[in-house]
């Protein structure tokens, strides 16, 4: 697939995609879930499914990463109308930030009010173990700090304001509800709360970069999520985010460990069930 690094979309593109979907679904979803690397099986648990490959939806981008199927799955989770992205878009695939976040504005136009984002991430915090689930309380955007903010460019007031505040990007009430769900499920041993740092990828971090990110206060590092969250907050969606810690980053020059995508996918498989149960429970308890 050609690199679309300069691609941007206008209101009519989002609207066409949303109207096409509305013509093909029975019920509008209130909750959207983005499945991270290897976390796609969550979408398979939806009941009364209607599935659309991305290529069938007007203007929808294509997913190119292993572990990302490339389908929108509509259906019911815990009785609530949801839509799941089975496969997301990343900058490292060559997509523009407009492409990466295209689905979010489509969800907004569908009437979605809550976004659940999941990702696979490397653990920076020394206390974290592989398989831990970190509820995201805040983020650091390395691309954003360098000017690659998805809201850069002309602002469309139909989506949101020019200068959105993001000190409350990750909804505290949703996080507290998720903590209660984790407690009910007996998962507290592997639940954490921390700061996600987004880097551009696709190369994993050098040892010096990992040491720097730790010093900056990040607990986990990954290559997604932040752009989606910024665009979601811009248009007023409430956000709950979680990272599955699929590997521990390497911080010693003596270490023989090497970050690799296979380990990421394997760990995702091991925690797939717990993640599904947690998200299902959380959606069930949302007002
Ligand atoms: O889509 P996510 O953020 O879960 O994917 C992570 C980051 C990279 O795409 C990949 C690295 O292994 O996993
Ligand atoms: N950047 C980055 N992304 C990841 N996704 C899963 N593990 C990692 C990691 O160690 N670093």
CB atoms within 10 A of CB 183: 11
* 286 close to 238: Cβ distance less than 8 angstroms: no
pLDDT in tens, 256-278: 888 888 888 888 888 989 999 99
ipTM above 0.95, yes or no: yes
Active site (catalytic) residues: 37, 68, 90, 92-93, 120, 223-224, 247, 261
pLDDT at 93 over 80: yes
Instruction: Find the residues whose C-beta lies inside 6 A of ligand 2.
Output: 120-122, 199, 201, 204-205, 221-223, 246-247, 249, 259, 264
Nearest ligand to the CA of 121 is: 2
DSSP 98-155: HHHTHHHHHHHHHT--EEEEEEEEEE-STT--TT-EEEEEEEEEHHHHTT--TT-SS-
pTM of the model: 0.96
Give the pLDDT band of residue 1 (cuts 50, 70, 90). Answer: very low
What is the C-alpha to C-alpha distance for residues 91 and 255, in angstroms, rounded to an integer? 29
Closest C-alpha residue for ligand 1 atom 11 = 261
Q: Quote the mean pLDDT of the chain.
A: 94
SS3 category, 27: coil
Closest C-alpha residue for ligand 2 atom 1 = 222
What is the C-alpha to C-alpha distance for residues 54 and 69, in angstroms, rounded to an integer? 9
């Amino acid at each position: 697939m050609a690199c679309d690094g300069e691609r941007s979309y206008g209101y009519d593109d989002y609207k066409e995609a949303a109207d096409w979907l509305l013509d093909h679904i029975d019920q509008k979803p209130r909750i959207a879930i983005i499945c991270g690397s290897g976390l796609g099986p969550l979408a398979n648990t939806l009941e009364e499914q209607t599935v659309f490959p991305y290529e069938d939806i007007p203007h929808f981008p294509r997913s190119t990463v292993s572990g990302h199927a490339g389908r929108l799955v509509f259906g019911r989770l815990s009785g609530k109308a949801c839509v799941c992205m089975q496969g997301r878009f990343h900058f490292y695939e060559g997509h523009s930030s407009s492409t990466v976040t295209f689905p979010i504005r489509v969800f907004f136009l569908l009437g979605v009010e809550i976004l659940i984002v999941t990702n696979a991430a490397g653990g920076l915090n020394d206390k974290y173990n592989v398989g831990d689930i970190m509820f995201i309380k805040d983020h650091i955007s390395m691309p954003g700090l360098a000017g690659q903010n998805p809201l850069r460019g002309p602002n469309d007031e139909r989506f949101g304001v020019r200068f959105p505040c993001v000190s409350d990007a990750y909804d505290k009430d949703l996080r507290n509800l998720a903590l209660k769900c984790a407690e009910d499920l007996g998962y507290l041993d592997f639940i954490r709360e921390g700061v996600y740092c987004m880097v551009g990828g696709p190369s994993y971090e050098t040892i010096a970069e990992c040491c720097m990110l730790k010093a900056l206060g990040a607990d986990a590092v990954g290559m997604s999520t932040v752009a989606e969250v910024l665009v979601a907050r811009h248009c007023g969606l409430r956000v709950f985010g979680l990272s599955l810690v699929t590997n521990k980053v390497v911080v010693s020059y003596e270490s023989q460990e090497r970050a690799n995508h296979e380990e990421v996918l394997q760990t995702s498989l091991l925690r797939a069930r717990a993640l599904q149960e947690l998200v299902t429970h959380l959606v069930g308890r949302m007002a």
